[in-house]
Amino acid sequence: MKSRKTLLASTLLFCFSTSTYAASNELPSLGDAASSIVSLQEEHELGRTWLRQLRAHARTIDDPLMIEFIESLVFRMIPHSGAPQQDFDFVVIDKKELNAFAVPGGVIGINMGLLLYTRDEDEIAAVLAHELAHLSQRHFARQIERAEQQQPIAIATLLASILLIATNNADAGFAGLMAGQAASIQSQLAYSRDWEREADRIGINTLAESGFDPQAMPSMFNQMMAASRIGDKPPEFLLTHPLTLSRVSDAAARAEGYTSQPRHLSFDFAILKNRARIRYQLTEATITDTFIREAEATDNSALTRNAAHYTLAEQALQQQDTKTALQQLKQLGESYQQSPASLALLAKILTATHQAEQALEMLTMALTYHPGSYLLISTRANVLADLGRPEEAVNSLRPLTEQRPTTPGLWFQLSQLAAKANNSVLAYRANAEYLFFSGESAKASRQMDLAIAAAAKQKDFQRQEALKERLKQMAASRKQLE
Instruction: Work out the average pLDDT over 245-261.
Output: 93
Instruction: Render pLDDT for 462-479 as a digit per residue (tens, 0 to 9).
Output: 999 999 999 999 998 877
Q: How many C-beta neighbours within 10 Å does residue 15 have?
A: 24
Between strands 107-111 and 100-103, the pairing is antiparallel
Mean of the per-residue pLDDT values for the chain? 84
51-65, 104-118, 140-154, 281-295: segment of lowest average pLDDT = 140-154
CA distance 202 to 212: 14
Per-residue confidence (pLDDT) for residue 78, from 0 to 100:
94
Per-residue confidence (pLDDT) for residue 233, from 0 to 100:
65
Angle between helices 267-280 and 287-296 (to 10 degrees): 150
Instruction: Render pLDDT for 49-100 as a digit per residue (tens, 0 to 9).
Output: 888 988 988 899 999 999 999 999 999 999 999 888 778 999 999 999 888 8
| 196 belongs to an annotated ligand binding site | yes
Instruction: Work out the average pLDDT over 26-42.
Output: 51
Q: Chain-centre distance of CA 472, in angstroms?
A: 27
The DSSP annotation for 101-156 comes to: EEETTTEEEEETTHHHH-SSHHHHHHHHHHHHHHHHTTHHHHHHHHHTTS-HHHHH
Taking a C-beta distance cutoff of 8 angstroms, is the pair 105, 111 a contact?
no
Instruction: Work out the average pLDDT over 170-194.
Output: 48
Per-residue confidence (pLDDT) for residue 99, from 0 to 100:
87
Q: In this prediction, what percent of the chain has a pLDDT beyond 90?
A: 63
Helix, strand, coil fractions of the chain, as percent rounded to 5: 70, 5, 25
Per-residue confidence (pLDDT) for residue 144, from 0 to 100:
57
Please check the confidence at residue 242 and state whether its pLDDT lies above 80: no
Per-residue confidence (pLDDT) for residue 83, from 0 to 100:
86
CA distance 408 to 56: 11
Per-residue confidence (pLDDT) for residue 240, from 0 to 100:
65
Per-residue confidence (pLDDT) for residue 145, from 0 to 100:
59
Higher pLDDT, 31 or 342: 342
16-20, 40-44, 321-325, 358-362: segment of lowest average pLDDT = 16-20
- Quickly list H helices, 167-301: 170-210, 216-230, 236-240, 245-256, 267-280, 287-296
Please check the confidence at residue 142 and state whether its pLDDT lies above 90: no
Domain ranges for the chain: 4-256, 389-482
Per-residue confidence (pLDDT) for residue 182, from 0 to 100:
44
Angle between helices 340-352 and 302-318 (to 10 degrees): 30
| 139 belongs to an annotated ligand binding site | no
| 134 belongs to an annotated ligand binding site | yes
Distances (CA, A) of 22 to 3, 25, 138, 235, 386: 22, 10, 11, 19, 52
Please check the confidence at residue 480 and state whether its pLDDT lies above 80: no
Instruction: Return the CATH architecture of domain 389-482.
Output: Alpha Horseshoe (1.25)
Instruction: Render pLDDT for 287-336 as a digit per residue (tens, 0 to 9).
Output: 999 999 999 999 999 999 999 999 999 999 999 999 999 999 999 999 99
What pTM did the predictor assign? Answer: 0.86
Per-residue confidence (pLDDT) for residue 439, from 0 to 100:
93
Instruction: Render pLDDT for 365-403 as a digit per residue (tens, 0 to 9).
Output: 999 999 999 999 999 999 999 999 999 999 999 999 999
Higher pLDDT, 345 or 162: 345
Provide the pLDDT confidence category of residue 190 given band limits of 50, 70 and 90. very low
Please check the confidence at residue 191 and state whether its pLDDT lies above 80: no
Taking a C-beta distance cutoff of 8 angstroms, is the pair 145, 249 a contact?
no
CA distance 119 to 418: 41
Please check the confidence at residue 184 and state whether its pLDDT lies above 70: no
Just list the catalytic residues: 131, 200
Please check the confidence at residue 126 and state whether its pLDDT lies above 90: yes
